[in-house]
Structure 1
Amino acid sequence: MYIWRKSSYSGPDDANACVEIATTPTHIAIRDSKTPTTRTLTLSTSAFAPFLEALKRPSGG
């Protein structure tokens, strides 16, 4: 069972339109708070930082 928390980038005007994460010692799960019962993206803790860096890159890079 995961304990979910909203992204620190979610502001008060975002209502439920944000990303939530849950962590375990070995994995990080990501879900859309608007559809919490659908599938989640689960990454190993070692893959999470490279995943975030890839999201920051301009498309095509």
Structure 2
Amino acid sequence: MPSEKLAYRIDEACRAIGIGRSKLYELNREGKIKIVRLGGRSVVPVTELRALLEREAA
């Protein structure tokens, strides 16, 4: 049984919500989405992506 991902790499997060890398980093700078560093990799928690979409849809 495959488990649901808890976080996406930057490129995966961009594809998941249909935006470019520069827009994702812009949203991060504005405090609208959180990017987490794990070791040498940056990831975006799925909860952050869902929260962003819910806020923008309202």
Establish whether TM, by shorter chain, passes 0.5. Answer: no
More contact order relative to length (CA 8 Å, sep ≥ 6):
2
Query: Which structure has the bigger radius of gyration?
Result: 1
Structure having the higher helix fraction is 2
Structure having the higher strand fraction is 1
